[in-house]
Structure 1
Amino acid sequence: MRPAPQEGTRPRVVAIADTDSYVKWAAALVGGVGERWDASLLVLETPLVVSDAQLAAALSGSGLPRDRVARVSYGGLAARLADLRPDAVVIGARGPLVRVLARDLAALERRPVVVTGLPGISIPATRKAVVYRLQSDLFVVHSRREVREFGALSARTGYAHRYALATLPFARGARVAGGVSAEARDDRPARSDLVFATQAKVPAEREDRLRVARLLVRAAQADPSRRVVVKLRAASGEHQTHAEEDGYPELLASLGPLPPNLVTSTGSMRAALAGAEGLVTVSSTAAIEAIAAGIPVIALDIFGVSPQLINETLADADLLAGEEDVVARRFRHPDPEWLDDNYFHAPEADDWVEAVEELLAQRSARGLPARAAFPRRGGALRDAWERRIALGRSDTSAAGTAAYIVGLPLRTGVRLIHRVRRAVMGPAQQPGPAGSSTQVRSTSAVRTSTTRTS
């Protein structure tokens, strides 16, 4: 990272991120502000930190130059922040790590404005996402619907947050008319790939993931002249934001000899979409990136629609389709009425930059009020435990080691109790993300859902 410029009029904003999706999000978010801020990114070394290849893919098209990015250990983070003297810090990380970093920043004598957010589709709004980020001054979301749903969640729970709207970085610059951007129409004949966007946790069950793998083989066999590209989130040995079991390379290999036009890719999604005729996913945010580029989408309906599948908003866009549609490549553009409320609002509706600058002015004039963390028992030992869980081996403190030794057996016992309780109650009685019962919408009810959310 090149040295930060001398004190000037531009706010100094530092993003901190570690995993693939959050590094991509944070780099594009602050990189999109241009010269308005002096922006940089610190890639925090954690057990799930991006590789150099993943970092390069994340920075591609982000607007953030490579010399404004540096890696840093947790042990060296405080000193690096002291050198950079940020006016604001954007934390792009999983909830447990946001909680740790926000707590560290809150302890500073003249703390920066703390901004956080989620890197993709965030419907349904969840209590956990809010609770982990309570010590942040601003929570960035990416659609009008997300502003409403997170605001309603805060009102129900009493966990106060200030939410601000930002165009999802991967949808920035799209000129969408009826679901097809003007740029994409020009080169449509050159695009022939069916791109499948993998996800680590959706679907969760091995048999469901095998079903998808078999579907991809069928799609490749149906037209040997066109490729089926399985877009992986990580190469062998690399990490993802969420741990993946039953990865698609292994699942596909278990099916025997594969068609030569079925290939995998670990490059950027942007590069994969450059040759895409259409995109297939269950619920990946890659669907939004594809729509922004004018590329039609299929959101697989074969597992239903539920909060756990994170596909409710794609269902409302009328993007659901089944296996035969995938094989025949009958891709869909979103319902035009869905766009404005879901990730494709007008750029002038964005208010996150103005919200940050309002907080910066408040900080300069009279300082920022303290924001309380979620109340919990345990004091310093609990803090050390949470830091160790969030950072893993990257936390080398004696307190973290002691807390881990004490806390691990306790956590194992609590999880066992929860498993027994779930087995007794059954899945139908389990609370959903917002405290309601889990429900799976049948695909037959999806077609009329747009009118309920627009």
Structure 2
Amino acid sequence: MPASATKSLRVAVLSDSDTRWKWGALTAGRLAPTDAEIRLDGYLLRGRATPTARQLKEVGVRADSLREVTGVEFLRAMGQAAEDPYDVLILALVGGGVQAMLHGLRAIWAGAGRRPVVVTGYVGVVYEKLADGLLLRHGADLVLANSRHDADRFRAVYEGVGADASSVTEVALPFLGGASYTGEHEPYTVVFAAQPSVPESRKDRTYLLNRLIQHARKHPEREVLLKLRSRPGEHTTHIEELPYQKLVQGKKLPANFRLVYGHMGEVLDRTDLLVTVSSTAALEALHRRVPTVVLTDLGVREVLGNHHFTGSGCLASWDQLDAGHRPAPDAEWVSRQGVAADGSYTTAFDTARERIAKLLDRPGGLPPLTPYYTPETAPGYLPGILARHHLGPDGVPLPGAPAADKEPGPVRQIVRRAARGAYRHGVQRVAPVIRRMGEL
């Protein structure tokens, strides 16, 4: 039904981790007209980072339905819904997953009268694999950019390879919000926002942990919190081989130092200083005008992602923080990064909403999806991406591709949970041991 004739919006979100589910589900809410009722159906792509029930609860987004699927099962579901399609489909996946689904959807929707508006984007700061990730997302109707800075970069990449850049749409991160910081709490609270894979080495992660503990000892009047993304055994978007929970074992901790979980927004409610290496939490804090520091202790390097914050006024070291440094963000940098601390957040999604409404009202429906990568433009790259999702070069499921029409039985569920547990044990315990042995 055209957007102009309805007060409701049916949205499907396919995601592959807790953070991408959070981004996709919250984006769905931002894209809906303010006076519209939204029905949200969630699909969780089965894999190593499929979120647990606790992780889903922590995100705090309620879906009208939620099910775990393989890529082929999801495509089958979209094919079955072709007669009464969703209005919007959000692909909240890693780049290769987006590309595979775009080709699979193109094949399954061939000849269909109507199809959803397909939307994709990024969960946070884009600091690596810019061209690779963007071209894998090309073909969606809207490729969301979380800031003016990103929108300019995205268009430059697409135009540079001769691809259509009209899909790039500037928005903002969908999870910004909360009350602005008004002054120090009692006690003054310092929060370190941990990341699963940045930094990567045991040496660097141990260094950061020790400096955080040292800061707590130097400032016993402060509360010092280590904000963790996941509990042991859980995975997020990135693999965490060396969780801080493991590194902190056996250390004598000061009374004012604690490990905390939970919703980042709730933690920011009591934060006086947010410290991180390059977490998207920095942008959440800046949006709320919470003093924010991006650490330089390990260098300002692309591999860490903190190079993204050059010019922000937020770069500092633990030595400076121990001495009482208070950061002052650069207003122009903050504005270009979509932080919207100036109150413009209420209109940040207006353009995207308008584009979706026009696409839904398009006479005759939408044309087939046209990704930049095809068997002709990337014959040595695309087939491998599609095969990882059990799709052939034409986007059609390969013979023997795993698919099921019903929920797996209890035995299969137990086997699946055991396999995931074995994988996570290998990632977090066996792999680091093997790596250390290789360094001897």
Same fold (TM over 0.5): yes
Relative distance call for 1:232 and 1:281 in structure 2 (3 A) is same
Which position in structure 1 is the counterpart of 2:173? 168
From 140, 146, 153, give the equivalent of 2:150: 146
Is 1:331–2:326 an aligned residue pair? yes
Residue identity in the other structure for 1:334: P
| Residue 269 of structure 1 pairs with residue 264 of structure 2 | yes
The answer (yes or no) to whether the contact 1:219–1:328 under 8 Å persists in 2 is no
Query: Quick check: which one's helix share is greater?
Result: 1
Distance 1:388 1:202, change over 3 A: farther
Deviation at 1:125, TM superposition (A): 6.9
Query: What is residue 91 of structure 2 aligned with on the other side?
Result: 91
- Aligned equivalent of 2:419: none
Query: Structure 1 residue aligned with 2:159, among 147, 155, 159?
Result: 155
Alpha-carbon separation, structure 2, partners of 1:374 and 1:261: 53
Tell me, yes or no, if structure 1 residue 239 matches structure 2 residue 235: yes
The amino acid across from 1:88 in the alignment is: V
C-alpha change, 1:388 and 1:330, in structure 2 (3 Å) is farther
Cα drift, residue 302 of structure 1: 1.5
1:330, CA displacement in angstroms? Answer: 2.7
Percent of residue pairs bearing the same amino acid type = 28
Correspondence for 2:12: 14
Task: Give the conservation status (yes or no) of the 8 Å contact 2:90–2:120.
Answer: yes
Name the CA distance, whole Å, in 1 between partners of 2:316 and 2:65: 41
In 2, the alpha carbon distance for the partners of 1:191 and 1:121 equals 31
* Matching residue of 1:422: none
For residues 411-426 of structure 1, the aligned pairs below 5 Å read none
TM-fit CA distance, 1:37: 5.6
Distance 1:353 1:21, change over 3 A: same
Judged with a 3 Å threshold, the aligned counterparts in structure 2 of structure 1 residues 381 and 152 are, in CA distance, closer, same or farther, namely: closer
The partner residue of 2:301 within 300, 306, 325 is: 306
After superposition, the C-alpha distances for 1:24-83 in whole angstroms (9 at most, x for unaligned) are 111211123344362414141332111111111112xxxx5x242412322543454435
Q: Supply the distance in 1 between the matched residues of 2:241 and 2:99 (Cα, whole angstroms).
A: 26
Q: Structure 1: any 5+ residue segments left out of the alignment?
A: 1-6, 175-180, 390-394, 402-454
- In structure 2, which of residues 70, 74, 78 is the aligned counterpart of residue 77 of structure 1? 74
Residue 126 of structure 1: aligned partner: 130
Deviations 1:336-355 (A, max 9, x none): 22222111343435422222
Equivalent pair of 2:148/2:170 in contact (CA under 8 Å): yes
In structure 2, the partner of 1:27 is: 25
Q: Which residue of 2 aligns with 1:195?
A: 191
1:360-439 residue pairs with structure 2 within 5 A? 360-362=360-362, 364-375=363-374, 376-377=378-379, 382=384, 385-387=387-389, 398-399=400-401
Note if 1:52 corresponds to 2:50. no
**Greater relative contact order: 1 or 2 (C-alpha under 8 angstroms, separation 6 or more)?**
2
Q: Distance in 1 between matches of 2:201 and 2:334?
A: 31
CA contact (8 A) 2:225 2:260 kept: yes
Helix, strand or coil at the partner of 1:170? coil
Give 1:54's aligned amino acid. Q
Aligned to 1:291: 286
Report if aligned partners of 2:22, 2:59 keep a CA contact under 8 Å in 1: yes
What is the CA–CA distance in structure 2 between the aligned matches of 1:331 and 1:315, rounded to whole Å? 17
| Local SS of the residue matching 2:102 | helix
1:120 deviates by 0.7
Counterpart CA distance in 1 for 2:326 and 2:246 is 27
Give the match for residue 436 of structure 2. none
Q: Classify 1:326/1:249 alpha carbon distance in 2 versus 1 (closer, same or farther; 3 Å).
A: farther
Q: In structure 1, how many angstroms separate the alpha carbons of the residues matched to 2:356 and 2:51? A: 27
Give 1:332 shift. 1.7
Structure 2: which 5+ residue stretches go unaligned?
392-396, 404-440
Change (3 A) 1:399 1:43: closer
Residues 1:257 and 2:264 aligned together:
no
SS in 1 for 2:336: coil
41-50 or 377-386, larger mean C-alpha shift: 377-386
CA change 1:35–1:16 in 2 (3 A) is farther
Question: What amino acid maps onto 1:225 in structure 2?
Answer: E
User: Which residue in the other structure is 1:443 paired with?
Assistant: none
Q: How many residues align?
A: 374
Superposition deviation, residue 400 in structure 1:
7.0
| Residues 350-365 of structure 1 aligned to structure 2 (within 5 Å) | 350=349, 351-362=351-362, 364-365=363-364
Give the letter aligned to residue 119 of structure 2. V
Q: CA deviation at 1:387?
A: 0.6
When normalised by structure 2's length, the TM-score is 0.77
